C-alpha cells in the first residue's frame, strides 16, 4: 500500500493529513510530530490559552479521536533525524526507518533565541508551544512584574493578556516603533497609544544586552544603560524556519524550503507547506516566506491536492490578524510602495480601516474592529480594482458596491 509521510504536527501538517482523507486518498497517512500533542492552533496560545479561558483540548485543531477515525497514524513526541531521498525513507531519532511514496515537510519554525549573558535564567522564557505557555501561565498573576523583549504580534498579545490580569508589564522594542516589521507607522502609533493607555510601559529603541541574576527574578539590562526588573521575562524575537533536516537532505533552501506554486520542492516526491517554505506568490509577483496561519492552511490544502494527483496552485493574498484587548487587527497585502493612505472610520472610536493605494489601486488594508470593510478590501485587492479614494473614505458608501 502507498504511504504519505508528513513531518511536522502544526497547522500545515494537521490540515494536510485531513485534506488527504477528504480527497479520498486510501493509502497510509503517517504524521510525525516532535511535540507530545496532536496538531494544534498556535494563535490562542498568546491569548485565550494564556489567559486561562480555553482548555487545552479546544486548542487542538481536531479532537484526538478524529485521527483514529480517519486512519491517520500519529507519531507524537517523535523526531525525524534524517531524510534519505535515494531510498525514500525517513529515519527517526530512535533509529527506525520508515519508507514513503511521497513526503510532505511541514516543519514550521522555532523561537529565535538570544545569545546574551543570563538568557538561560529560569525567569527567562520563550513562547512557541503549549508547554511554554504552561510554564509562563504559572507565573503570570496580579502584582507580578513582566518584561517582554520584542514588540511584535506575540509580545503585544501577551502584554494585553497580562495587563488585564493586573500584571505590571514593560515591552522593550529595539526598533523605533512596535510592530515595525508588520504594520505601517500609523498603525504602530495607534497600538503604542492603546497599550500605554492600558498602563503598559512601551520602551522603543531599547536593545536588551544581558539578563542579570536577581535570584527568582532578573534585571533586563539594555545597551543604553536602562534596566528593568521582572519576575518573568518573555522573549519574542520572531522565529527561525526549521530547514536543517532539509538542507542535510540536499533540497534547495533559501530563507526557507524552496517550493513552486504547487508546493513541490526540488525533489518531485517531496512537498512542503507552512512557515518553513519560501514560495512564489502570483498576486504579488515575487517569492516570500510567511509566518501566517492562513498561509499554512492554504498551502497544506494545495500540497495535499497535488499529492492526490490533482493540479492545484497556491495564489492566495497574504493576510494576518492579531487580537489585543477587545480589538481585532486584520491586515491583507503589503503597504510598501503605496503613494496614498485613506482612513475610513474613526480611530478614536476603535473602529476603522486604513487603505494603502498605489496609482489608485488598493494594495493593502489594515483594519481595527472593522471586519466587513476588511473582507471587502481583500476582494478589491485580489481583483486589482482601481477605486475612488473619496468613496473609500466615505463610511456611507458600502465597500461591496465598489466590487
Spatial separation of the C-alpha atoms in residues 312 and 76, rounded to whole Å: 29
Quote the pLDDT of residue 250: 97
Report how far apart the first and last C-alpha atoms of the chain are (Å, whole number): 49
Q: How confident is the model at residue 283 (pLDDT cuts 50, 70, 90)?
A: confident
With a CB cutoff of 8 Å and minimum separation 6, the contacts of 135 are 125
DSSP characters for 363-389? EEEEEES-HHHHHHHHHHHHHT-B--H
With a CB cutoff of 8 Å and minimum separation 6, the contacts of 39 are 9, 10, 11, 13, 14, 15, 17, 31, 33, 60, 61, 62
- For residue 252, the tally of other CB atoms under 10 A from its CB is 13
Cα–Cα–Cα angle for 301, 6, 95, rounded to 5 degrees: 175
How high is the mean pLDDT of the chain?
Answer: 96
pLDDT of 167 above 80: yes
Quote the pLDDT of residue 282: 87
Strand 109-111 and strand 257-258: the pairing is: unpaired
Spatial separation of the C-alpha atoms in residues 156 and 153, rounded to whole Å: 5
Cα–Cα–Cα angle for 163, 168, 173, rounded to 5 degrees: 85
As a whole-number percent, the residues of the chain with pLDDT over 70 amount to: 100
pLDDT of 403 above 90: no
Quote the pLDDT of residue 284: 85
Q: Summarize pLDDT for 302-316 with one digit per residue, the tens.
A: 999 999 999 999 999
φ, ψ dihedrals at 76, nearest 5°: -95, 160
What's the rounded mean pLDDT across residues 84-98? Answer: 98
Map residue 327 onto helix, strand or coil: strand
Quote the pLDDT of residue 1: 64
What's the rounded mean pLDDT across residues 365-383? Answer: 95
Residue count of the chain, please give it: 403
Residue 352 vs residues 179, 375, 378, 382, 394: alpha-carbon distances, Å: 18, 13, 15, 21, 12
Q: Summarize pLDDT for 25-71 with one digit per residue, the tens.
A: 999 999 999 999 999 999 999 999 999 999 999 999 999 999 999 99
Q: Is the dihedral of CA 222, 224, 228, 229 positive or negative?
A: positive
What's the rounded mean pLDDT across residues 338-367? Answer: 95
Quote the pLDDT of residue 249: 97
C-alpha cell at 109: 519554525
C-alpha cell at 212: 542579570
Spatial separation of the C-alpha atoms in residues 259 and 257, rounded to whole Å: 6
Quote the pLDDT of residue 337: 87
Q: Summarize pLDDT for 128-144 with one digit per residue, the tens.
A: 999 999 999 999 999 99
Distance of CA 173 to the CA centre of its chain: 19
Q: Summarize pLDDT for 172-224 with one digit per residue, the tens.
A: 999 999 999 899 999 999 999 999 999 999 999 999 999 999 999 999 999 99
Quote the pLDDT of residue 119: 97
Spatial separation of the C-alpha atoms in residues 234 and 162, rounded to whole Å: 12
Distance of CA 52 to the CA centre of its chain: 21
φ, ψ dihedrals at 58, nearest 5°: -80, -10
Map residue 183 onto helix, strand or coil: coil
Q: Give 220-268 as a 3 state SS string.
A: EEECCCCEEEECEEEECCCEEECCHHHHHCCCCECCCEECCCCCECCCC
Residue 93 vs residues 78, 174, 181: alpha-carbon distances, Å: 7, 38, 36
Q: Summarize pLDDT for 102-158 with one digit per residue, the tens.
A: 999 999 999 999 999 999 999 999 999 999 999 999 999 999 999 999 999 999 999
Map residue 392 onto helix, strand or coil: helix
What's the rounded mean pLDDT across residues 379-396? Answer: 91
Beta strand residue intervals within 115-217, DSSP E: 124-126, 145-149, 168-173, 201-204, 208-213
Higher pLDDT, 1 or 3: 3
DSSP characters for 344-365? EEEGGGTEEEEEEEETTEEEEE
Quote the pLDDT of residue 142: 93
Amino acid at each position: 500500500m502507498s504511504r504519505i509521510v508528513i513531518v511536522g504536527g502544526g497547522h500545515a501538517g494537521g490540515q494536510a493529513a485531513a485534506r488527504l482523507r477528504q480527497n479520498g486518498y486510501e493509502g497510509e497517512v503517517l504524521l510525525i510530530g516532535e511535540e507530545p500533542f496532536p496538531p494544534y492552533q498556535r494563535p490562542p496560545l498568546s491569548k485565550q490559552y494564556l489567559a486561562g479561558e480555553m482548555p487545552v483540548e479546544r486548542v487542538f485543531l481536531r479532537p484526538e479521536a478524529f485521527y483514529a477515525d480517519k486512519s491517520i497514524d500519529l507519531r507524537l513526541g517523535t523526531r525525524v533525524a534524517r531524510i534519505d531521498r535515494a531510498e525514500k525513507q525517513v529515519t527517526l531519532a530512535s533509529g527506525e526507518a520508515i519508507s514513503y511514496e511521497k513526503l510532505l515537510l511541514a516543519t514550521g519554525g522555532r523561537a529565535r533565541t538570544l545569545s546574551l549573558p543570563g538568557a538561560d535564567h529560569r525567569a527567562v522564557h520563550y513562547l512557541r508551544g503549549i508547554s511554554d505557555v504552561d510554564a509562563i501561565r504559572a507565573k503570570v498573576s496580579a502584582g507580578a512584574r513582566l518584561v517582554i523583549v520584542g514588540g511584535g504580534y506575540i509580545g503585544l498579545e501577551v502584554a494585553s493578556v497580562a495587563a488585564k490580569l493586573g500584571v505590571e508589564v514593560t515591552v522593550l522594542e529595539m526598533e523605533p516603533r512596535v510592530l515595525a516589521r508588520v504594520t505601517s507607522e500609523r498603525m504602530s502609533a495607534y497600538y503604542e497609544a492603546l497599550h500605554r493607555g492600558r498602563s503598559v510601559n512601551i520602551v522603543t529603541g531599547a536593545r536588551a544586552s544581558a539578563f542579570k541574576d536577581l535570584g527568582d527574578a532578573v534585571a533586563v539590562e539594555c545597551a543604553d544603560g536602562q534596566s528593568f526588573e521582572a519576575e518573568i521575562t518573555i522573549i519574542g524575537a520572531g522565529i527561525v524556519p526549521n530547514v536543517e533536516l532539509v538542507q542535510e537532505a540536499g533540497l534547495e533552501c533559501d530563507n526557507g524550503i524552496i517550493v513552486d506554486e504547487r508546493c513541490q520542492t526540488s525533489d518531485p516526491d517531496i512537498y512542503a507547506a507552512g512557515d518553513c517554505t519560501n514560495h512564489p506568490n502570483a498576486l504579488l509577483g515575487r517569492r516570500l516566506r510567511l509566518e501566517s496561519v492562513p498561509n499554512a492552511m492554504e498551502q497544506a490544502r494545495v500540497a495535499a491536492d497535488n499529492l492526490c494527483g490533482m493540479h492545484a496552485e497556491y495564489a492566495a493574498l497574504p493576510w494576518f490578524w492579531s487580537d489585543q484587548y477587545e480589538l481585532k487587527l486584520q491586515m491583507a497585502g503589503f503597504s510598501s510602495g503605496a503613494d496614498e493612505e485613506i482612513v475610513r472610520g474613526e480611530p478614536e472610536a476603535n473602529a476603522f480601516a486604513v487603505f494603502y493605494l498605489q496609482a489608485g489601486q488598493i494594495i493593502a488594508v489594515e483594519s481595527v474592529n472593522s471586519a466587513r470593510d476588511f473582507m471587502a478590501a481583500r476582494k478589491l485587492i485580489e481583483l486589482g480594482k482601481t477605486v475612488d479614494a473619496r468613496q473609500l473614505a466615505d463610511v456611507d458608501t458600502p465597500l461591496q458596491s465598489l466590487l
